[in-house]
Amino acid sequence: MPSTFNYDFSGHGWEGKTSFNTGLFIGGKFVDGVEGKTIDVFNPTTGQEICKVSEGGAKDVDLAVQAAHKAYNESWGMKVPPTQRAKLLLNLADLIDKHSDELAALESLDNGKAFAIAKKVDVCGAASVFRYYAGWCDKNGGKVIEVDESKLAYTRHEPIGVVGQIIPWNFPIWMLSWKLGPALATGNVVVLKPSEFTPLTALRTAQLIQEAGFPPGVVNIVTGYGNTAGAAISSHMEIEKVAFTGSTVVGRYIMKAAAESNLKNVTLELGGKSPNIICDDADLDQAVKWSAFGIFFNHGQCCCAGSRVYVQEDIYDKFMQKFTDHIKTLKVGDPFHKETFQGPQVSKIQFDRIMGYIEKGKQEGATVLMGGEQHGTEGYFIQPTVFTDVKPNMTIVKDEIFGPVVVVSKFKNDEEIIATSNDSMYGLAAAIFSQNISRAIKLANALHAGTVWVNQYNTLHESVPFGGFKQSGIGRELGEYALANYTNVKSIHVNLTKEL
């Protein structure tokens, strides 16, 4: 029998307790993995083990696929009216709101993000996503197409069937909602793998999915490692679609596995090295605050983080003084403390990776204007780090670091900054700060990025699509656009009068 995770958060900023099963969630039940193995889950604030969860592998993925197929054929898909799917999604959203403090505390515990931010952004955001897609359940229909009087032609939007989903560790419950929302709204059944670093909210949400009334097997959650459970999902012959959020390197493996198996439909939301452009006509105080939020929010562990800041040369010195002064006000520390903005990196692996990039920047001749060291002596905390005197070919300018590290450079004019910003294999996001809206829109139209913010950063909404250009991904998440990822379009031709 799988174990039960019990935790008392008293004294941590939320005076509550949690208790839930740590097994694999397959066919509406929590079960042990076939091989009986477990995964250690750690608290990045202390580096200490929190608990163990069941480890799933290829055989467990196969069982989850069987359960999903059974649900699709008997109790979901086209057999369930869209209004019923909407009702269950709304039930789930209400339950997430009801348990928002508990879920936020779990995010802070195994991810390290500030409790207040976890609640406002991740948990409340997840509830909003499920409510949004509940509204789409009965509106994603086909259409009648005018051909001629001898024929009735129309399209149907049908679910794909069993879909596999692999979510990252940086926004665990929010990414879960981005994946499950459109998939369930369109009638699909799901086998989902959360990150092995941050599985707790996914397992707690599995209980809420039961409570919301979803039939067994509609949602299956398999905790496991990427090279086993993730690989099994990507290559499974009976999974017709796979959606992945994570690094570009892993995205390539998933796309290859999908192609070499059953040529499954693929959606990828991958890495970024996003430019943040500060024009000489920007509101400087606002640009400073948004730029710091753009890179240090979620400890820099954002695929769309504004990790390349470009400041027009006439205002560079003034911006840098204000920027560094503001960064000094950002509180780094225990995620359960009310004043904390930046918590620890998610794991020792990620901590070491970021520190390696910081050392690489120093070796290649960049200047560490501030930060560049571990914060404190316990856990995986890194000081907010600012590099200057960087060159375009430096590793820290080209690679996605995925941590609280920003490189700042000067630029002369709009033509130069367009070329510099677009000189990247990535194209996920960008931002422009200018009080001249015509200039800002012209720049926005010229940038090769799936999302461009003007006079803000890191603000997303469930109704607006999100995804990348170039090697930042394939397809779009959120909004109406995401429905197409989980829909097969069938064309039907009906002969009315024509005879042979």
- Active-site amino acid positions: 269, 303
Q: Provide the 3-class DSSP secondary structure of residue 342.
A: strand
Cα Dmax for the chain: 84
Q: What are residue 12's phi and psi, to 5 degrees?
A: -100, 5
Judge contact between 449 and 430, C-beta under 8 A: yes
Cβ-proximal residues to 181 (8 Å cutoff; 6+ apart), any chain: 89, 129, 130, 132, 133, 462, 482
What is the spatial order of strands in the sheet that 308-312 belongs to?
A: 367-370, 385-388, 405-411, 308-312, 275-278, 429-433, 451-454
Indicate left, alpha or beta for 35 from its phi (over 0: left) and psi (-120 to 50: alpha): alpha
Q: Could you give the CA distance from residue 457 to residue 455 in angstroms, rounded to a whole number?
A: 7
Judge contact between 134 and 89, C-beta under 8 A: yes
Q: Could you give the CA distance from residue 36 to residue 28 in angstroms, rounded to a whole number?
A: 19
Say which DSSP state 33 is in: -
Tokens of 396: 């820290």
Q: What are residue 105's phi and psi, to 5 degrees?
A: -65, -40
Inter-CA distances, 354 with 103, 107, 119, 359, Å: 27, 21, 26, 9
Q: Could you give the CA distance from residue 288 to residue 301 in angstroms, rounded to a whole number?
A: 19
Judge contact between 52 and 141, C-beta under 8 A: no
Q: Could you give the CA distance from residue 22 to residue 433 in angstroms, rounded to a whole number?
A: 46
Q: Provide the 3-class DSSP secondary structure of residue 56.
A: coil
Tokens of 183: 């998939």
Q: Which of 43, 61, 344 shows the shortest CA–CA distance to 228? A: 61
Judge contact between 269 and 300, C-beta under 8 A: no
Q: What are residue 137's phi and psi, to 5 degrees?
A: -55, -40
Q: Provide the 3-class DSSP secondary structure of residue 472.
A: coil
